[in-house]
Amino acid sequence: MLKKTLFTLLSLLFTLSSSAQHEVMLQGFYWDGYSDCKWQKLEKQAEELAQYFDLIWIPNSGYCGGGNNMGYLPLYYWNQNSSFGTEAELRSMIKTFKEKGLGTIADVVINHHNTSNGWFGFPQETYNGVTYQFQSTDICSNDDGGAALTQAKKEGVSLSPNADTGEGWDGCRDLDHKSENVNKIIKAYLKYLLEDLGYTGFRYDMVKGYSASILADYNSSSHPQFSVGEYWDSSSRIKSWIDGTKVDGTPTSLAFDFQFRYRVRDAVSQNNWTILAGNPSDAGGYPLALQADYQKYAVTFVENHDTERRPGAEQDPLKGDTLAANAFMLAMPGTPCVFLKHWMNAKSDIKRMVSARKLAGITNTSKYEQVASAQLYYGVKTTGTKGSLICVVGKTPTAYAVPSGYTKVCSGKDYIYYLSNDVAAEWNKVEQQIADEIKAAEEELGNFTPHTATIYVKANFTPVYFYLWDSNNNSQLNGNWPGKQPATTTINGETWYYQTVNVDKPDYYFNIIFNQGSGKPQTADITNLSSDHYYEATLTGATISHKDVTEATSISPVVSEDASSPLYDLMGRKVTTPLQGHIYIRNNKKIVY
């Protein structure tokens, strides 16, 4: 048993430090990205994503309460029905990703846990016949700066005798990871994510909240193929944290390189590209990716869900030059993590950047050297296992005199890539693949038929308002909240409220909230709509719930005289081989085969 445990641990350390060298990751979500980040929507992109990324980091997939929830106030571990989809949809997505060679990274939030009943009422869960439940004695003795202890005395319950091993957070209860019960539950949860759901590894949230040695223990127990911690601090402190995760002298986790991000942001915002070089004597601000001893443990990024601006938070989004920022990141050592919004807005550029990186064989430990440094442009040459890549970024990248032996392969706003000739010959294949993908997208667009989508709702309350917004920069379709009162129609003797929206392109969708008016009850967001839907909305107390009753309400039988007319799916795409039991559109009518 000892030999088996040691072998497994050594395999874990080897995976984290060696086989992950070539990986490029996508952060597959952004804050409040409930429509774009649905499991079903991400799964449909599996073929394309797997061509360029090795890992995709998704939001916490556990149930965290009703309504839209990003998952950072965890409530359930084994209930995997979240704001992004059902457990069945999650499993299907992870399985599809895995089949395509794309590993899924779970957002693991274990520093703290929410309650379902007051300060200390944690929900009970049962998995594989074992019941799990946090207790008040699993809460750090100094939780919320002593407020939890005061409340515990009022309620006559006890907290853990142990203080927090890291920084506290007052959003919900801080867990004591020294507790035997906490340790047991979290280890069971991590194994469930990997062995049952099929995740590849973990992104640990807020690891400043507990000792690095605790994370090392969790990784040694669960054996993820990939692990990265969010230690939001200076480089010197992040390095100390990485060292703290060591087992037998080897770190068991990577960390996000925050100082890399800040350096890129400052170069862009100050229009001074010499900032990218940095100063090695600045231990706290010198990026990990630029340090030979730590670059293999650096996950580089230029934007994420926290650094991007969102309401109520002081953020500093890097919007002035995201292309140049990504170009620099994808040419450098470390494990790059592309932000979903950047990918969505600049696919062709990022596809070329990733392809150039992989053609050169750049890894997380590749050697790089500065080849140009001026206020208006900066250049680096990174040598991979197959060839070299020169990246020049800034306002005047053409000012750099490229040496012989290199070929320009791609360029865009404020960046140019040059590959060494020994691998540049392969570039035509990259351009052909991207051209084929563009052609496929155009063919899909050509098969698309603009149509209307009508949303109907039968409600047990009045008045009824429809608040709508769409995928065109969240444009409001009915004005400001609470929207407008819709028209009505009669179906089978019952009154239904409805509104019709024009769907003029394949990737267009809209979202809706049914409500009673400003300051009155409302439903949760109903998102990603592009076809007819029928709903029942029910007011109970101060809450409005909704149920999709489309299939039971709107389907008409197939009629023989329509058999020669074109058939389309609910996204408006022409269908040549319909499947039995599926819903289609023919002559602007829904039918079921």
The secondary structure of residue 573, as a DSSP letter, is: B
Q: What is the pLDDT of residue 5?
A: 43
The answer to the question of residue 542 being in a domain is yes
Q: How confident is the model at residue 505 (pLDDT cuts 50, 70, 90)?
A: confident
Residue 271 has pLDDT above 70, yes or no: yes
CATH number at 36 reads 3.20.20.80
Q: What is the pTM of this model?
A: 0.81
Q: Is residue 174 part of a domain?
A: yes
Question: What pLDDT was estimated at residue 373?
Answer: 96
Tell me: the pLDDT tens digits for 147-165? 999 999 999 999 999 999 9
Q: What is the pLDDT of residue 561?
A: 37
pLDDT at 471: 77
Domain boundary among 225, 256, 287: 256
pLDDT at position 67: 77
pLDDT per residue over 449-498, tens digit each? Answer: 888 899 999 999 999 999 998 877 668 999 999 999 999 998 888 999 99
Confidence of residue 448 (pLDDT cuts 50, 70, 90): confident
pLDDT score, position 172: 93
Whether 251 is covered by a domain: the verdict is yes
- Torsion sign, CA atoms 477, 478, 480, 481: negative
Q: Mention every residue, 6+ apart, whose C-beta is less than 8 A from residue 582.
A: 569, 592, 593
* 323 occurs within a structural domain: no
Q: Where are the beta strands (DSSP E) in 258-414?
A: 298-300, 335-339, 367-374, 377-383, 388-394, 406-412
326 domain-assigned: no
- State residue 152's pLDDT score: 97
pLDDT digits (tens, 9 = 90+) for 272-329: 999 999 888 898 999 999 999 999 999 999 999 999 977 666 678 888 899 999 999 9
Residue 578's pLDDT band, with cuts at 50, 70 and 90, is low
Q: What is the predicted pLDDT for the residue at 587?
A: 65
pLDDT, one tens digit per residue, over 319-347 is 889 999 999 999 999 999 999 999 999 99
Q: How many domains does the chain have?
A: 2
Q: Is residue 289 part of a domain?
A: no
382: pLDDT strictly greater than 60? yes
Q: Which long-range contacts (CB under 8 A, 24 or more apart) does 39-43 make?
A: 39/84, 39/85, 39/86, 39/89, 39/90, 39/92, 39/93, 40/85, 40/89, 40/93, 41/528, 42/93, 43/89, 43/92, 43/93, 43/96, 43/97
pLDDT value for 479: 94
pLDDT at res. 17: 43
Q: What is the pLDDT of residue 6?
A: 41
Per-residue pLDDT, averaged over 553-559, amounts to 45
Specify the pLDDT at position 16: 52
Confidence of residue 560 (pLDDT cuts 50, 70, 90): very low
CA geometry: angle at 358 spanning 356 and 359, to 5°? 65
> Domain for residue 188, yes or no?
yes
Per-residue pLDDT at 10 exceeds 70: no
Which one of 256, 285, 317 terminates a domain? Answer: 256
For 91, 145, 481, 581, the CA distances from 44, given in Å and listed in that order, are 14, 46, 32, 20
Residue 551 has pLDDT above 80, yes or no: no
Does the pLDDT value for residue 571 go beyond 70? Answer: no
State how far the alpha carbon of 286 is from the alpha carbons of 271, 390, 441, in Å.
Answer: 19, 22, 42
| 185 vs 131: CA distance, rounded Å | 9
The string of pLDDT tens digits covering residues 70-126 is: 999 999 999 999 999 999 999 999 999 999 999 999 999 999 999 999 999 999 999
Q: In this structure, which amino acid lies at residue 5? A: T
Per-residue pLDDT tens over the stretch 17-52: 444 577 999 999 999 888 889 999 999 999 999 999
pLDDT digits (tens, 9 = 90+) for 216-241: 999 999 999 999 999 999 999 999 99
What single string gives the DSSP state of each residue in 477-509?
SS-STT-B--EEEEETTEEEEEEEEEE-STT--
Token pair recorded at residue 429: 């294949």
Residues contacting residue 343 through CB under 8 Å, at least 6 positions apart: 26, 350
CATH of the domain at 456: 2.60.40.10
Structural domain for 110, as ranges = 2-256
- Interval 390-406 mean pLDDT: 97
Given pLDDT bands bounded at 50, 70 and 90, which one contains residue 559?
very low
* pLDDT at residue number 1: 41
Please indicate, yes or no, if residue 578 is contained in any of the structural domains: no
pLDDT confidence band for 8 (50 / 70 / 90): very low
So what's the pLDDT on residue 7? 39
Mean pLDDT, the chain, integer: 90
Name the most confidently modeled range: 54-68, 242-256, 519-533.
242-256
Query: Among 194, 225, 256, where does a domain finish?
Result: 256
